[in-house]
Chain A
Amino acid sequence: MMVGKPKRLGGWWGPPAIFLAPAAVLFGVLFAAPAVSSLYVSLCKWTGFTPQMEFRGVRNFVKLSGDLRFWAAIKNNLWIMSVGGIIFFFFALLFAAALNSKFLRGRKFFQTMIFFPAFISVVGVATFWKLIYDPKSGLINLSLRAAGSEGLQWLDSAHAINSVIIMMVWAGVGGTMILLLAGMRRIPKDYYEAAEIDGASAPQQFFHVTMPMMREVILIALSLWMIGSMKVFGYIQALLAPTINDRNQVISTLQYQYAFSNRECIFMMGRATAMAVVQVCVVLVLVGIIRLFREKKSVEY
């Protein structure tokens, strides 16, 4: 895969070390060291105000498994990942297929308008939607009321996660659409022509030619979505900030609340880090599952 032979060197010293040094130092000190030490912190009890940590073993994890808020948060994460994922990929595939088709007018415009929300800051998107979702005077409820029905409570504790899903789909579909579009464009046209000759209609062409060829790209997009939906913090924090409650938390916001905000008790830095460790493990498991689906050899039909 590499063009040109790289120079062979026996060991660590010399040029590679010099080139890798700045990145390695920065990464090691400010990223890897805290990440590794978090494994140790998760085993301790710590208020954060005193430098001492008490080693408690796996007690933090045991307490986590009994913490109802934690399980509610995981449930919300999984809900976002599954239901949100289905909606997200439905729209992303639809838009990618639509932009890949042969109509000429306005493709750039549609691409811009769909992709643009991905670049507004998370806080901007969340504030935008907070104003639109407002139950009394927001755009959606105004429209519903003018059309005759009662407005819905979008930011209620029962419906908040669904609103978050809609918001994440709106903001995120552009990037994935571009990715899928790139994958679609690489499919050679002969396959489509062969399918046409065989008499396939357009939906059939989509499901039997486009989707199998795009398997790799779809898996990449899927893993990105899974990682993102487990990591999500900004959207929920900024959308629901003053009224966030136990039903609406996600792992990241719950961890933020335990570690940094003063609402609850402050003895929970260790537990917060334990939560993050669990989060990483779940993500690794999911990515591993996805990698099982990848084919080892390139696909040829």
Chain B
Amino acid sequence: MSALAQIQVLAASAMPLAGLGVLAYCLISIGILWAHARTRLYPLYLLKIFWVGFTLVGFAWIISMSFGDPGPKHGGVTSEFLQNPAGPFAALGNYSLFATQLYASTPWWLFMLFGLLLLWRGLVGHSLSARDSSARRRFVRIFLAASVAVICAALLLLDRGQQRLHLRYTGAAFFVAACAAWALLPLRWKRRYGAPALLMLAAAAAVPVIVSFARFDWSSYTYVVGNYKFAWKTARMGNYMLNSLLVSVLTVAVTTLCASMAAYGLTRFEFLGRGAVLLAFVGAMVIPAQLYIVPLFLMVQNWHVAAAGLEFSFMDSRLGLGLIYAAGGLPFAIFLLTGFYRTLPGSLREAAAIDGCGEWRIFTDVYFPLAAPGLATAAIFQFLGVWNEYQFALVFLTNDSLKTLPVGLYNLSVSQQYAANWSALFAGVTILCLPTFLIFVILQERIVAGLTVGAVKQ
């Protein structure tokens, strides 16, 4: 292999970057812990840092591999992930090269001018003291902004001819960045000498990068987006996501309703065999899906309803799957909600009964709204369970347009091993994981609270 190809292969292997990244991350986190927390650092805790580091590196690798060139399609199995050895770094490398060139072609005196401008602005700004009147302040600010604008306009006018086009863009972008930075800075920063100047310098330095991004020829790297489009289309993710959403919402609605009613009935009334019923529900959590999936499948296969021109078959329908999930999710939801309902005071009941509410009204108007946090927790757990569920969907949905998201990804993973478009598979995994991560970050507090409530009520 030629030297260039060898370098490319080395660059393609994630190890050097990944290793450096992990090392840097570990050192930085150790440094942070040491400097700020001032606690003794048990060696075992380093395991945690490496664990999280591995997770980060793993996802970074997956995302970067999804930017790889899948190469021309050819039949047969390949086990190489990338056709082009430089892989995901080709696009990034060439873009950096282009940006550097553009950057380097900005004349030196332009940077000197920007630097002088910032210095002048900083000096003038610093000369403002707290005792100055607001009119003077306003005058100084307007003067500074106007001077920056004038100079940038002069640059724009100076820049003629096609080969100096970047200068025009640079000046204009700098002007916009400077005004935006000035407008957005917090007040106490504006009084300081250094920070605004640094910010505008950073804006000026970032301008060639932004300009080059717009002017770089991306046409040979369209596979980056193409991978995601391919994964989306082949795995029919839009379609499947909709199916998953429909099934999940249906299941959550049915489960929450039935489980809250059942939990209320189990905690507020004493009747014969109440303990047995509760035990039956809670004990059902132990039963694996495999036990009843076969008889359920056989039972449900033959359920058709044809009435008034509408045909409804239980087998290949999202409604049917939703009801099956609801039945399977009832044990856990009832378990969670009985624990929750027990914490609600019983005195409200007497008060409502005195006011003349019937039993049903007491439930809907008093207890159901009070149980909202518990219901939200149960709903979240049920939603996540159904969204990620895979075994029942595999068995009960055979019609291709009705399948749910996990089944789609499974089909993608099995089929792409034979079609040799690995980059699309990486893209598919990224599409699945990133939104989950965002939703998780948003809902994390609620989920943790729900789990800990469940642990306390044993």
C-alpha gap A112/B291 in the complex (Å): 34
Cβ of A216: which chain B residues have Cβ within 8 Å of it? Answer: 458
The answer to the question of B134 belonging to the interface, with a C-beta cut-off of 8 Å to chain A, is no
Count of interface residues, chain A, beta-carbon cutoff 8 Å: 110
User: Would you give the shortest CB distance from B11 to chain A, in whole angstroms?
Assistant: 12
Cβ of B245: which chain A residues have Cβ within 8 Å of it? Answer: none
User: Would you give the shortest CB distance from A267 to chain B, in whole angstroms?
Assistant: 13
Cβ of A188: which chain B residues have Cβ within 8 Å of it? Answer: none
Cβ of A238: which chain B residues have Cβ within 8 Å of it? Answer: 390, 410, 413
Select one of B261, B281, B291 contacting A22, CB under 8 A.
B261
Closest B residue, CB atoms, query A179: B455
Q: Are A124 and B433 in contact (CB under 8 A)?
A: yes
Known A22-B258, A113-B52, A121-B387: A41·B295 in contact at CB below 8 Å = yes
The answer to the question of A211 belonging to the interface, with a C-beta cut-off of 8 Å to chain B, is no
Q: Are A124 and B347 in contact (CB under 8 A)?
A: no
Closest B residue, CB atoms, query A273: B294
User: Would you give the shortest CB distance from B298 to chain A, in whole angstroms?
Assistant: 7
The answer to the question of B334 belonging to the interface, with a C-beta cut-off of 8 Å to chain A, is yes
The answer to the question of A74 belonging to the interface, with a C-beta cut-off of 8 Å to chain B, is no
The answer to the question of B81 belonging to the interface, with a C-beta cut-off of 8 Å to chain A, is yes
Q: Are A19 and B289 in contact (CB under 8 A)?
A: no
How would residues 223 to 267 of chain B score, 1 for a CB under 8 Å from any chain A CB and 0 otherwise? 000000000000000000000000000000010011101101111
Which of A124, A131, A284 is the most central at the interface, judged by chain B CB atoms within 10 Å of its CB? A124
Q: Are B289 and A34 in contact (CB under 8 A)?
A: no
Select one of A34, A175, A186, A233 contacting B451, CB under 8 A.
A175
Known A20-B277, A31-B284, A119-B388; further 6 A-B contacts with Cβ < 8 A: A9-B269, A23-B258, A105-B37, A116-B440, A121-B432, A124-B433
Q: Are B80 and A137 in contact (CB under 8 A)?
A: yes
Cβ of B413: which chain A residues have Cβ within 8 Å of it? Answer: 123, 127, 130, 238, 241
C-alpha gap A35/B268 in the complex (Å): 29
- Interface locus among B39-47, B160-168, B214-222: B39-47
User: Would you give the shortest CB distance from B48 to chain A, in whole angstroms?
Assistant: 5
Closest 8 CB pairs of A and B: A4-B346, A19-B265, A30-B327, A23-B262, A146-B15, A182-B452, A34-B292, A121-B388
C-alpha gap A128/B51 in the complex (Å): 16
Closest A residue, CB atoms, query B61: A139
What are some 21 contacts across the A-B interface (CB < 8 A)?
Answer: A2-B346, A9-B270, A19-B264, A19-B265, A19-B269, A22-B257, A23-B262, A31-B327, A38-B294, A123-B406, A127-B409, A142-B14, A146-B19, A147-B15, A220-B458, A260-B395, A276-B294, A277-B291, A279-B288, A279-B291, A280-B291
**A interface, by DSSP: helix, strand, loop or mixed?**
helix
- Interface locus among A59-67, A95-103, A157-165: A95-103
C-alpha gap A39/B154 in the complex (Å): 88
- Interface locus among A78-86, A189-197, A251-259: A251-259
Q: Are B295 and A37 in contact (CB under 8 A)?
A: yes
The answer to the question of B82 belonging to the interface, with a C-beta cut-off of 8 Å to chain A, is yes
Q: Are B51 and A4 in contact (CB under 8 A)?
A: no
Cβ of B299: which chain A residues have Cβ within 8 Å of it? Answer: 33-34, 37
The answer to the question of B105 belonging to the interface, with a C-beta cut-off of 8 Å to chain A, is no
Which chain A residues in 163-192 approach chain B with CB under 8 Å?
170, 175, 178-179, 182-183, 186
Known A16-B265, A98-B48: A9·B271 in contact at CB below 8 Å = yes
